[in-house]
Structure 1
C-alpha cells in the first residue's frame, strides 16, 4: 500500500464503470484516488484492488448529499485533480422529450458538475490542481434526437470556459476533453436508440480517453490543455 499522503489526490466521478473506471485504473499506480459514484458496493470492490484509493459515495444530483460527502473528506494539502466523468445520456426528439427529461440531462451533466466543483474549489486552489470535464463531440454539434444531451454538453463547455477564466488567477487549470464515440454501455444505449449495430471496433477505447485525461493532469505546471478532441480514427 502506497503512503496516500505522499501521492497526488484525484477525485474521479463515475468511477465504477466506463470511461471513469478506465481513468481510475490509469491513475492508480501513482495517485491516491477518491472514487466517486452511487454504487457503494462496486466502488468498494474497485478500491480494494487499487494501490491507494477510497470511496466517495454520493448522488451528485442531490446537492445536500453532495455537500455532506465533500464535508466528510480529509484533504491534507488540498486536491490535485477533479475529473468529472459521471453523466447521463437522454435521447429523443424535441417533440417527444418531457420537462423531466430536460431537467435530468441538465442537472446531472451540468448543475451537478458546477456544484461539486464549487464545493471543492478551496481544496483545488490550495493544491493548484486541475479540473477535467469529460465532454463530448456533442459539445460542439447537435443532431436530431440528441438535443437534450447536446444542450447539456454545450452548457458544460460554457461552464468550463467560464471556470477556466475565473480560476486562472488562483492557479487552477481547467481542461475539457471531448471524446467521439467511445466503446461503453452508453454507446450501446445510443446505438439502440438509433436502431443501429454496435461494433466495438468502430469506437474509441475508454482507455484511450483515460490517457488523454492523464495527459491533462500530468502536464507541467506552466501549461494547460484547455480543450482536447479525441475521435475514432
Structure 2
C-alpha cells in the first residue's frame, strides 16, 4: 500500500550512476518510479527503497514509452536523467548514425517523455528536473561536438519548457561537472588520463542538488544550477 502523502517521482536512468543516486536520495521520503530499460537492474533498485515501483521501457522507442506512461495515474515530479555518451570523434569523422543515436536519447526521448507526462505534472503542480552537463554550458572541446550539441539542445528545450509551463510546472536544469561514474571512467581512459575518483563529484552530490530543487518553497524555482568538483584539471 503506497502512502498517499508521499510525492511520486519518476527518475529515468535510475538503475546506475547519477540516476541511481537520485533515486536512493529521494527514496528516503518519496515514492520513486525507478526508470530503466532492463527489468532485472530496475528491480534491484526498487527492492532497496522503502516505497518504489518499476518504470521499465526503452525511451528511444515511442511505443514502449507511450505504453509505460499510459499506466501512470499520478506524478509529482519527473527527473530526466537517462542519457548516452558519444564517441570522441571529430565532425569530419562522424556520420549520421552517431548523431541520430545520441540526439534520439538525449533530446528527442526527453522531449517526448516530458510531453506525455505534462498533463499529470500540471495536475499536481509538479516539477521537471533535467540532468544536463557542463557540456551544455561550456564551449565543446575538439571531438566533443555530438555530446555537446545534444546537451546544448537539452538546455534550449529546458528553457522553452520553463517559459511554456511557468506558473503550472517548475522546471530546473542541473549541470554537473565530471562525476565519478562508469561513463566518466571510460571517458578518462579514452583520453589517456589516470583516473582518481577524488577529483570528481560524487553522484550523491548531484542528487542533493535535485532534492534542493524539489524542496524549494512554493513561490520559488531553482531555474538553472551548475555543480562542479573542486578539483579542475
TM-score (norm 2): 0.96
Which residue pairs with 1:129 in the alignment? 126
Question: Of 173, 176, 192, which aligns to 2:173?
Answer: 176
* Structure 1: gaps (5+ residues): none
User: For 2:166, what is the secondary structure of its paired residue?
Assistant: helix
Which residue pairs with 1:217 in the alignment? 214
- 1:3 CA displacement: 3.4
Is 1:56 matched up with 2:55?
A: yes
CA offsets 1:41-87 (integer angstroms, 9 cap, x no match): 11112111210000000000001110001002232xxx111001100
1:61-100 correspondence runs (5 A): 61-75=60-74, 79-91=75-87, 92-100=89-97
Which residue pairs with 1:208 in the alignment? 205
Residue pair 2:73, 2:120 contacting (<8 A) in 1 also: no
Inter-partner Cα distance in structure 2 for 1:27 and 1:98: 39
Which residue pairs with 2:188 in the alignment? 191
Which residue pairs with 1:16 in the alignment? 15
User: For 2:27, what is the secondary structure of its paired residue?
Assistant: helix
Inter-partner Cα distance in structure 2 for 1:193 and 1:63: 32
Aligned alpha-carbon RMSD (Å): 1.0
Residue pair 2:10, 2:33 contacting (<8 A) in 1 also: yes
Inter-partner Cα distance in structure 2 for 1:162 and 1:4: 34
* Structure 2: gaps (5+ residues): none
User: For 1:154, what is the secondary structure of its paired residue?
Assistant: helix
Deviates more, 1:29-38 or 1:95-104: 95-104
TM-score (norm 1): 0.96
- 1:160 CA displacement: 0.2
Is 1:152 matched up with 2:150?
A: yes
- 1:151 CA displacement: 0.1
1:23-62 correspondence runs (5 A): 23-62=22-61
User: For 1:100, what is the secondary structure of its paired residue?
Assistant: helix
Inter-partner Cα distance in structure 1 for 2:84 and 2:179: 14
- 1:96 CA displacement: 1.7
Deviates more, 1:37-46 or 1:9-18: 37-46
Inter-partner Cα distance in structure 2 for 1:68 and 1:4: 25
Inter-partner Cα distance in structure 1 for 2:128 and 2:190: 31
Inter-partner Cα distance in structure 1 for 2:2 and 2:63: 31
Is 1:113 matched up with 2:72?
A: no
Inter-partner Cα distance in structure 2 for 1:60 and 1:121: 16
Aligned residues, how many?
228
- 1:33 CA displacement: 0.5
